């Protein structure tokens, strides 16, 4: 009997019980991926096979190179919304080139430690991100409900009803899949003429072949795809890292966020080479996987593998799915994505006005621009400005005159940085103070050059009136910053 070399622990999925759980979870996720992958393809404006192949390759590749076991990556609504303009204005070839370049960007960003920057994204921005995603997913369904046969509307309502009530009977089979199967059977059996998946394009009948995108490899192509690729890379990493953090909390296990960021890039490059639309981690499908007990990479790989088999074998059947069924799925996904708790009156009443403002601005910018990454950047910058103003107000200056009237001590408390330093200069009585002035910073901390420049300006103003200034109470960090920059910023010595 062969002996396993030391240092190579037995994979947990080799255990029969774990293996069974991982296989079943992967199968359920693979089935559940079909409607969403097709729906996201429609949002992006590409044939269903482009989204289906993306879901297959993303899941199978990330199972090996990702940093968060049991997390599902596939084609997503967030990525579909970002790349849709590329398809609309430039065609499929440019989309594939965009996906590959986005993968390169993700590898670079992951190597540079972008995962660590997630700590600077405030919760209010994340809530705004999720809410905006829900709104965009919903509005993306409107074209499928405009100028269509009347039968589409009752089918959508029926699909929503089944997805809401079926889980009360059993959760062994995904409710969206049940809804799609029943609506497909009804429309085919009754001969109801409504738009179908087949109307959007043919499904794959064979395995995808790798190849380079059909675009000119020149500077013009790069200038066209680079902005979309960067947006896709950022949006994909944001959604992926947020999902990874969520799975960490649920499973009480750590993950390697840097490896996951780089892995997303590798998976997108492979996906692009196989003609897929790219993607990132999926919050909904990951929750299905984790809630079914999956904890290893096996379930992630099998989700993509099962999906591939289902597409190749059942392609003709899938092409007859009515679009109304997919619209119902996406409406429910959008409703489930939106954080309704964040907009409850009780929540808004307790939430600081600044937090609510950041959330609303993030949502507004995303909806107005259709770009999730722009909204996140604007929301984060606004949150930082609000935080800086809030902290700046905590800075205080108190003057204590010596009984003999020969000196005055100014006690400065709070954090001295660019936002608070600007007001510091105006807090001193340069004309009325005695000849000796002591500035006590034992209750404050100097953070940046703006603070040092303000202190130098104060010293200079007093010196111009023949008065001496002594700065005391600097902690080690403040003393180092002040010592390095004092005099070099204002020209005083």
Mean of the per-residue pLDDT values of the chain: 86
Average pLDDT for 437-452:
91
> What confidence category does residue 242 fall into, taking pLDDT thresholds of 50, 70 and 90?
confident
pLDDT digits (tens, 9 = 90+) for 276-296: 999 999 877 887 788 778 889
> What confidence category does residue 110 fall into, taking pLDDT thresholds of 50, 70 and 90?
very high
CA 322 from centroid of its chain's CA atoms: 31
According to the model, what pLDDT value does residue 1 have? 46
> Where is pLDDT greater, at 261 or 347?
261
- Is pLDDT at 465 greater than 80 in this prediction? yes
- The encoded tokens of residue 437 equal 């002035």
According to the model, what pLDDT value does residue 131 have? 87
According to the model, what pLDDT value does residue 492 have? 44
Average pLDDT for 124-152:
86
Which range has the worst mean pLDDT, 11-15, 30-34, 234-238?
11-15
436-446/407-416 β-pairing: parallel
* Burial degree of 211 (CB within 10 A; 0-12, 13-18, 19+): exposed
**DSSP assignment letter at 114:** G
> What confidence category does residue 5 fall into, taking pLDDT thresholds of 50, 70 and 90?
low
According to the model, what pLDDT value does residue 29 have? 85
d(CA 54, CA 36): 12
The interaxial angle of helices 16-44 and 283-291, nearest 10 deg, is 160
> Where is pLDDT greater, at 114 or 64?
64
Spell out the residues 6+ positions from residue 238 whose beta carbon is closer than 8 angstroms to its own: 118, 121, 129, 372, 373, 376
CA dihedral 310, 313, 318, 319 (to 10 degrees): 140
Single pTM value for the model = 0.71
- Is pLDDT at 49 greater than 90 in this prediction? no
> Where is pLDDT greater, at 73 or 171?
73
* Burial degree of 3 (CB within 10 A; 0-12, 13-18, 19+): exposed
According to the model, what pLDDT value does residue 100 have? 96
- Is pLDDT at 98 greater than 50 in this prediction? yes
d(CA 135, CA 337): 9
């Amino acid at each position: 009997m062969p002996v396993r070399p030391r240092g190579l622990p037995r994979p947990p999925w080799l255990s029969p019980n774990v293996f069974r759980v991982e296989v079943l979870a992967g199968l359920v996720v693979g089935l559940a991926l079909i409607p969403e992958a097709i729906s996201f393809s429609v949002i992006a404006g590409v044939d269903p096979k482009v989204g289906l192949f993306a879901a297959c390759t993303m899941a199978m590749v990330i199972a090996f190179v990702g940093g968060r076991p049991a997390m599902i990556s596939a084609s997503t609504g967030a990525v579909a919304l970002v790349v849709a303009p590329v398809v609309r204005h430039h065609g499929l070839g440019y989309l594939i080139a965009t996906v590959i370049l986005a993968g390169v960007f993700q590898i670079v960003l992951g190597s540079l430690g972008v995962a660590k920057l997630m700590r600077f994204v405030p919760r209010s921005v994340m809530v705004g991100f999720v809410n905006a995603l829900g709104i965009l997913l919903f509005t993306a369904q409107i074209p499928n409900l405009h100028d269509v046969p009347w039968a589409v509307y009752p089918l959508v309502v029926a699909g929503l009803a089944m997805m809401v009530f079926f889980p009360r009977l059993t959760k062994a089979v995904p409710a969206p899949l049940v809804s799609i199967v029943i609506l497909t059977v009804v429309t085919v059996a009754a001969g109801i003429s409504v738009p179908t998946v087949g109307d959007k394009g043919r499904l794959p009948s064979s395995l995808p072949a790798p190849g380079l995108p059909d675009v000119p490899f020149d500077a013009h192509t790069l200038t066209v795809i680079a902005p979309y690729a960067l947006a896709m890379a950022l949006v994909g990493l944001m959604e992926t890292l947020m999902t990874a953090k969520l799975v960490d909390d649920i499973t009480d296990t750590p993950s390697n966020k840097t490896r996951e960021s780089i892995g997303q890039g590798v998976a997108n490059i492979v996906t692009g080479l196989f003609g897929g639309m790219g993607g990132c981690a999926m919050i909904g499908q990951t929750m299905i996987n984790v809630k079914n007990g999956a904890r290893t990479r096996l379930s992630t790989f099998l989700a993509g593998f099962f999906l591939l088999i289902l597409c190749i074998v059942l392609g003709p059947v899938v092409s007859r799915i009515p679009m109304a069924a997919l619209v119902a799925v996406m409406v429910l996904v959008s409703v489930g994505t939106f954080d309704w708790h964040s907009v409850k009156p009780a929540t808004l009443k307790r939430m600081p006005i600044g937090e609510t403002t950041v959330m609303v601005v993030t949502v507004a910018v995303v909806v107005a621009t259709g770009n999730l990454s722009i909204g996140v950047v604007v929301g984060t910058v606004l949150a930082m400005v609000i935080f800086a103003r809030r902290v700046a107000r905590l800075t205080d200056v108190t003057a204590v005159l010596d009984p003999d009237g020969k000196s005055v001590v100014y006690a400065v408390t709070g954090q001295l940085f660019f936002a608070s330093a600007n007001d510091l200069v105006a807090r001193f009585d340069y004309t009325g103070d005695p000849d000796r002035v002591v500035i006590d910073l034992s209750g404050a901390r100097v953070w940046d050059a703006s603070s040092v420049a303000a202190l130098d300006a104060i010293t200079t103003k007093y010196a111009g009136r023949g008065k001496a200034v002594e700065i005391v109470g600097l902690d080690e960090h403040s003393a180092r910053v002040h010592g390095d920059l004092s005099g070099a910023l204002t020209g005083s010595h």
